[in-house]
Amino acid sequence: MSLERTLIIVKPDGVQRGLTGEIIKRFEQRGLKFVGMKLMHISTELANKHYGIHQGKPFFEGLVKYITSSPVVVAVLEGKKAIEVVRNTMGSTNPVSAPLGTIRGDLAVEIGRNLVHGSDSPENAAIEINLFFKPEELVSYERDTDKWIME
Ligand code: IDP
Ligand code: MG
C-alpha cells in the first residue's frame, strides 16, 4: 500500500487556545509522519481558494473571516491511508456529534470553531498541499520507528 500525503490546519481557535501542541501530538502519536509544517496568517485570497467549494453557502463569509482572523499552523502529514486516518482523528465537522476521543469531540463544541482542518480526498489533498507549500518546503526522510507503526 502506497503512502498518502494530506494537509492539516490548526485553525485560529486552536492556536489562540494554546492547543497547537495537543492537536499536533494526536496526529504524531497516531503514527503519521510530518513532512512539512509552518505558522502563517492566511490571506483572504488564499482562504477563498482553499474554501472555494463552499462559496455561496450561508456560512462562507463567516468561515473566511474565521480562518483569516489570526495565525494558523499548517502541516503536511504522510502515512498509509493518511487522509482517512486524519479525518477519523479529527472527528466529524460538527463537534457536537464528534465522538469522544477525537480532536473535535474532546476539545470543541461548535461547528464554526472546530479547531482543525484535514483534506477530504486524495485529489483535494494534492490541491491543498500545493496551495500552502512550495515543493522545497516538504522534507522526505526515513523514520526509524516506521517499522513499529506499519507492516
Ligand atoms: P470539514 O472541515 O469537516 O471538512 P466542511 O464541510 O468541509 O467540513 O466545512 C469546512 C468548514 O466550514 C468546517 O470545518 C467549519 O469550520 C465550517 N462550516 C461547515 N459547515 C458550517 C456551518 O453550517 N456553520 C458554520 N460553519 C460551518
Ligand atoms: Mg472539508
Domain borders along the chain are 4-42+72-149
Strands 33-40 and 3-10: unpaired
- pLDDT of 59 reads 98
User: Which residue's CA lies nearest to atom 23 of ligand 1?
Assistant: 59
Helix 20-30 / helix 82-90 crossing angle, nearest 10 deg: 130
Residue 65 annotated as part of some ligand binding site: no
Q: What share of the chain is helix, strand, coil (3-state, %, to 5)?
A: 50, 20, 35
Distance in Å, CA 50 to ligand 2 centroid: 10
> Residue 90 has which C-alpha cell?
479529527
pLDDT of the residue at 36? 98
CB of 99 closer than 6 angstroms to any ligand 1 atom:
no
Q: Report phi then psi at 61, rounded to 5.
A: -60, -45
Q: Which residues contact 13 (CB under 8 A, 6 or more apart)?
A: 19, 66, 108, 113, 114, 115
**Ranges of the chain whose pLDDT falls below 70:** 1
| Residue 14 bridge partners (DSSP) | none
Please report the pLDDT score of residue 1 as a whole number.
Answer: 63
E strands, the chain, in order: 3-10, 33-40, 72-80, 116-118
Active site includes 117?
A: yes
Fold classification of 4-42+72-149 (topology level): Alpha-Beta Plaits (3.30.70)
C-alpha 25/C-alpha 73 separation (Å) is 13
Three cell numbers written together for 93: 465537522
